[in-house]
Amino acid sequence: MKQFFKMFFASMLAMIVTGVIMVALVIGLIVGAISKSDSDESRVTVASNSVLLIDVNKAYHEQGEKNSFAAFSDENSYQAGLYDAINAIKHAKTDDRIKGIYIKLTPSGNGWATMQQLRAAIVDFKTSKKFVYAYGENISQGAYYIASAADSVYVNPVGDIELKGMTTTIPFFKGTLDKLEIQPEIFYAGKFKSATEPFRAYEMSPENRHQVSEFQADFWSEFLRAAAEHTKTDTAMINQWAVSGAIQFPQDAERLKLVDGLRYWDQVEKLIRTKAGTEEKEEINYVDIDNYADHVRGKRKIKDERIAVLFAEGNIVDGGETDMRQVASKNMREQIRKIAKNDKVKAVVLRVNSPGGSALASEVILRELELLKQKKPLVVSMGDLAASGGYYISCKADSIFAMSNTITGSIGVFGMMFNVENMLKNKLGVTFDEVKNAPYADFPTATRPLTADEAARMQRSIDNVYTVFKSRVAQGRKMTIADVDSIAQGRVWTGSDALRIGLVDAIGGLDRAIASAAKLAKIDDYQVTTYPEPVDRFEAVMRRFKGSSVSAEVLKAAMEEEMGSDYQYYKQVKALRSMQGKALMAMPYSLTVK
């Protein structure tokens, strides 16, 4: 028996040592890959007669992302962010090695403001007189919007192309809560504050339906303008084709000149080959936008005077980051203070793409931005969303820029609590009893209904935060409280409407905001530096494991992969717990216009 234990523990030790060595080797390989991905040698070499490839199916987040896992897969070592992509397209205008652009048309899941900026960059690229071709087998409306900037748009003869108008679908969970016997207790300020509707109603309120119709109409007008520009017809005609369902087959799109021809891929590639000056026996040098953006990043010149672009993408949360693409108060405070202390940074652009979130976190971030603004000019650039808390952190900037398709405003506050007493008692047989030595000792609670006094306290708290919100906007935008209140009430506005009512200063993308910041700082020759630094995907995975079990993260990743776009609904239901009793400036449901 003694010999058995000796052999057992020796084998166990050997397994542990082997495991440690294997983990160390894997980490070493990944660290090596990370180091290599940062080196000049790892960047793509752009050959002569190259064609820049833009796949509209790619999800463009605000900031780029390094990918050390690319060493073990076919993925790119750098995933370009929107800023990178636009900068790369701009650079390609004057790059003699880039002969033109090929836009690969697949369904696009990007927001309308993101697509608007990509399209504008392509329109600007065309001033170089280089070619732009677009081709797809299944062309969604969003993809066509971008493609309309091309010289020619082609579709597969038996493919599909959409022209059908727009729809906005919002999920409502009130019926689910009824079935589970969960009682929502909801408090809000602002008659348009529709953030709570999915939990207290079965359908949109008239106010919400009105505001959705309004911004949907603005998006549709922009789409019609782009389509009419390409087809050389008027917007009323394009709209009539959509209303009548005139586009059913690719032949319809060709007849009405939405597309410039029906082609198979080999036929389109032959056209590209001729334009690029590539011999028939040679492969076309396609350069993916990710790789080209990384190549352009490597060519940046270091300069003493800098404009900092600080990215704020995702939900606004208290404390530190727990997931990718969050605007966490702790991390943002650290980044803002880092920028403030950097004497080389002469001005700052805050790039906001956020539906809001925690009221407290929003206030923490705004305070740090106010302190920063005392030292350096501060300009805001809005992406797809800068609503509620996203607008809160923006409102005191020197200037605010938005795209016409940006969703902004939503100046309002809400709080929610969920009483699960009946669900636990009737479905699981669980009941609660308590002893407390003060009336509010167990407040907030999910195991009993709120008393009338507690409900009144909650509403007063929400109203107080709403008053603070309006006062911050009034100070930042130089308005009266009454003026702010008239355009607040939780109402969502498009960028074009926000300009009209004074919530933003001008329509324009990140490039215009950067130019404005440079002008305020009185500098001409400068370098743009982004904050925080692009995160490597490996580091992001390790961060997600922090404070969470490996099994939980694996399960989460598997669910996200399996559920696809429906995973957002699971996340919304799961987020109910974090809403308990907090004052929120947010749009908790996913607002998608297709």
Q: Which residues are catalytic?
A: 193, 388
| Side chain identity at residue 192, one-letter code | F
**DSSP at 163:** -
Tell me the CB-side half-sphere exposure of residue 418, using CA atoms within 13 A: 22
Six-digit token pair at 515?
């130019």
Rg (C-alpha) for the chain, rounded Å, is 27
Contact between 147 and 161 under an 8 Å Cβ cutoff? The reply is no
**Sign of the C-alpha dihedral computed for residues 375, 376, 382 and 383 taken in this order:** negative
The single residue listed with the structure tokens 């966490």 is 328
DSSP labels for 497-540?
HHHHHTS-SEE--HHHHHHHHHHHHT-SS-EEEEESPPEEHHHH
Residue 174 CA to residue 172 CA, distance in Å, equals 6
Residue 563 CA to residue 560 CA, distance in Å, equals 5
Angle between helices 359-373 and 452-477 (to 10 degrees): 20
Closest CA to 529 of 346, 369, 287, 276: 346
Helix (H, G, I), strand (E, B) or coil at 301: coil
Contact between 77 and 67 under an 8 Å Cβ cutoff? The reply is yes
Residue 555 bridge partners (DSSP): none
Label each residue of 572-594 as H, E or C. HHHHHHHHECCCEEECCCCCCEC
CA angle 77, 80, 83 (to 5 degrees): 155
What phi-psi label fits residue 350: left (phi over 0), alpha (psi between -120 and 50 degrees) or beta? Answer: beta
DSSP labels for 230-295?
HHTS-HHHHHHHHHHT--SSHHHHHHTTSSSEE--HHHHHHHHHHHHT--TTSPPEEEEHHHHHHH
Residue 525 CA to residue 336 CA, distance in Å, equals 23
Angle between helices 82-92 and 289-298 (to 10 degrees): 80
Polymer length of the chain: 594
Contact between 193 and 412 under an 8 Å Cβ cutoff? The reply is yes
The single residue listed with the structure tokens 């995907």 is 537
Contacts of residue 316, Cβ cutoff 8 Å, sequence gap at least 6: 326, 327, 329, 354, 356, 357, 358, 361, 362, 365, 389, 390, 393, 585, 586
